[in-house]
Amino acid sequence: MLNTRSLASALLLGLSVLAGAAVAQTPTAAPAAGPATLTLPEISGLQTDRQKVSYMIGLQMANSLQQVKDYIDPATLTKAVQAGLSGQGSLMTPEQAQQVGMAFGQFMQAREMARIAEEGARNQAAGDAFLAQNRTKPGVRVTESGLQYQVIRAGSGAKPTAADTVKVHYRGTLLDGKEFDSSYARNEPATFPLAGVIPGWTEGVQLMPVGAKYTFWIPAALAYGPNGAGQDIPPNATLKFEVELLEIVKQDAAAAAPTQ
């Protein structure tokens, strides 16, 4: 919901980030005696400290409102800020502001859900088409669930069960080749319980003997589904993983190992 409280919170968060960055970049010094002083750089067009601070706050406010900028009239926003700072001349009562904020928040949520559904439908269709063609390629195998895989390097060790913890190297990409995760990039294998990952991983890694390297193509239903994951994995995305099974981690070692 977009309201004055959330706007103020976003602004305060931005200011705290700026202040935290400044503290992090400033060497620790002994506390100075006397009152605190404000020392700001020279900035063309901004003469006073008050102007500089005001401009910085305005930039922070604008950055926090990028997602709704198409619904903002800058002149009206300026009037509202002036009324809020002075405590006079507001065109809205607090109750009206809350009503507008709730209605606008619900509208934005519905719009985002529609966007996600539309993007998800496109991705599902693209993934289905890709998998239908990919399954016909030499060396590609398909399980009953629809998981597709190819053996890049055979292994000779044991195979894990869903109850095991494994150590692997892996690289994950979208169908367009965009990499969204890689233990190779971190130069460190990942250790995790097979029961705690996406279904396509749980099923696929159990097919691998230790020492093997497989490529997996994971349908959306066995990956992150219609919700996607964060900014990097869109809704209903079909995923490609290259996976090397390095080790089935012993129980004591698994308890001590950090998960990825």
The answer to whether 224 is a known catalytic residue is yes
Give DSSP secondary structure letters for 66-127: GGGGGG--HHHHHHHHHHHHHT---SS-HHHHHHHHHHHHHHHHHHHHHHHHHHHHHHHHHH
Distance CA 5, CA 1 (A): 10
Given 149, 164, 170, 218, the catalytic residue: 170
The answer to whether 149 is a known catalytic residue is no
Which among 242, 214, 239 has a CA at the least distance from the CA of 225?
239
Given 192, 214, 216, 224, the catalytic residue: 224
Given 149, 192, 216, 241, the catalytic residue: 241
- CB-based burial label for 48 (10 Å; 0-12, 13-18, 19+): exposed
The answer to whether 181 is a known catalytic residue is yes
Strand partners, 165: 193, 249
Given 164, 181, 216, 248, the catalytic residue: 181
Given 104, 116, 130, 180, the catalytic residue: 180
For residue 22, the Cα-to-chain-centroid distance in whole angstroms is 25
Distance CA 188, CA 110 (A): 41
Query: Tokens 């990039």 label which residue?
Result: 185
Which residues, at least 6 apart from 203, have a Cβ–Cβ distance to it below 8 Å?
Answer: 143, 145, 147, 222
Q: What share of the chain is helix, strand, coil (3-state, %, to 5)?
A: 50, 20, 35
Which among 203, 209, 253 has a CA at the least distance from the CA of 223?
203
The answer to whether 241 is a known catalytic residue is yes
For residue 2, the Cα-to-chain-centroid distance in whole angstroms is 21
Given 104, 128, 130, 198, the catalytic residue: 198
Residues assigned a catalytic role: 170, 180-181, 198, 224, 241
